[in-house]
Structure 1
Amino acid sequence: MTAVVHGNAAGLTGVRVTEVPSPRPGPGEVVVALRAAGLNHRDLFLVGARGPGDAPVVLGSDGAGVVVAAGPGAAVEPGTEVVVNPSLDWDEPGGVPEVPAILGVPTDGTFAEYVVVPAKNVAPKPAHLGWSEAAALPLAALTAYRALFTRGGLRAGDHVLLPGIGSGVATFALAMAKAAGATVSVTSRSPEKCRRARELGADRAVGSGEDWRTALAEPVDLVVDSVGSATFGQCLSVLRPGGRLVSLGATTGAEVSLSLREMFFRQISVLGTSMGSAREFSQMLALVAEHEIRPVVHRTYSLDDGPRALADLAAGDQFGKLVLTVD
């Protein structure tokens, strides 16, 4: 089968499209013929961390397709249209693993014609979504769901701030928070991304260089931040007393400076999150189906264009998700 593989060289120069053996299902596993696969910044992190001595591996965590084979004990019928849950061996929200296990490196992932996964890691594709939209869901939508609801305790009427709008997680968080009845503000360096966010329902869009406290006009109940050090201070400053900040990424750096007095006098909660459990994946899909949430797909590429898609992801100009389509 055709696959996007990393090996033989470090970074993006080690990404190539090649032929690899098709997978076979073991006990409790299914083979999914993929129709589309979503890209994530995790893919870039992994290729950057791997070296020339690492064994070749099929990249990709997100995917959607049709089950074509089932191993012994797998209770999923061939022919079922599914979306793949890339969060492995994490069943309940409270059972947080030391390090989340995610499909794709060190196991073969979804940038291929076929992938083998545990049967419990596939779920019926939401009927209102096309293949590219369904493939854009898994990792980013699961992360956004847990950040907003499990960790952030989002309630109807809350004021939510999403710094750095444009990423897959942030665009999902915008749609989910609006569906839950929240007021949503976003920030971006890009006026075009601010404009797109307003079109998708954001109540306010603020430039990254502005004074957020003045521009937002009212205190924030919940911040969901993936930017990191560049925005951390401003995120804390706009929270109301008793507000919550959920951190799920550090694209501008992981080291921050903060005043502990400001935190404890104002009783701010700072919470970390990453990925999510199988139960949260089911809850996320139910929310997507109930409100007919549609992922924002910035661009699609053929599987043969996988290396170019990863390079475009690294450039960071997209608004929403990049997706590979599989014939």
Structure 2
Amino acid sequence: MVIWESFKRGSNSSIGQFASFYLIGIPGYENVHHFISIPFSVLYLIGITGNCAILHIIHINTSLHEPMYYFLAMLSLTDMGMSISTLPTVLKMFWFNAREIGVNACVAQMYFIHTFSLMESAVLLAMAFDRYVAICDPLRYSSKLSPQRVVYIGIFMVIRCSFVLPVVLARVPTFSFCRSRVLSHSFCLHQDVIRLACDDISFNILYGLFVVAFYWGIDSLGILLSYAFILHSVLGIASKEGKLKALNTCASHICAVLILYVPMIGLSLVHRFAKHSSPIIHITMANVYLLVPPVLNPIIYSIKTKQIRQGFLRILVPKKLGFPHI
């Protein structure tokens, strides 16, 4: 903690424009950053490898070329995007104690982190719609979610999430930072950077609130409405086995929604109501929010989805053992 405090005091004297920010790891544990990097490295390895495996399984098995698995592939791509966006600065800092990051590199990292975060929420909404159609209107599933429409949905999600942030992020390099250049995490977040600015940041704050309310709000409302209709339809099924079977097809998606939204809400609450709490709490919540979904999503889908589980087994079990084809 002493090292971090002296480092922070040394960077407070910067007035006006500058070319870099400084990242932090775990305050007070700088001497053991090399050991702390081990679980981070393992999480990145599991997340990237698991999502690559899902993409490979869906690609090589034509029986999985269906809307549900196309959306799962999109989820894996966004998960990998979230992991790769934070990986360079996190591991560089823990491995080499390289804290400095240029302002342009910081803005680029902010863009990719927040864009993939918005995109993941949009993919989960598309997956909720997929489950709604499959359960509530199964006879028209193929026509409503044809491969062409799935492609259009994917393109729309990319456009929807890619062009909203440059408007606000382009202002960051123009700000003056006369307080400190030390950020609160080992990666750049918009809300973390602008709090250090000495200029008027009202536009950035209001625009950020708009993005959260409009994008996350609409996505979460759409997911809730989809599951309200799904629950209504499931309750109309006569047999208990039929109800359980229908709900089981949604289990993986519900888990994916929870592991994205619960840490996100927790991080927001910490920033709102625990501003003066230990920095470790803020750092832990931010890392959970960005690292846990890419790690858990492949695990959840490999456990709950038979076809994906068999695909993983075919990768892990040698062919000479005669594991059956999917």
Q: Same fold (TM over 0.5)?
A: no
Question: TM bucket by the smaller chain?
Answer: under 0.3
Larger helix fraction of residues: 2
Q: TM-score, normalised by structure 1?
A: 0.25
Q: Which has the higher contact order (CA 8 A, sep 6+)?
A: 2
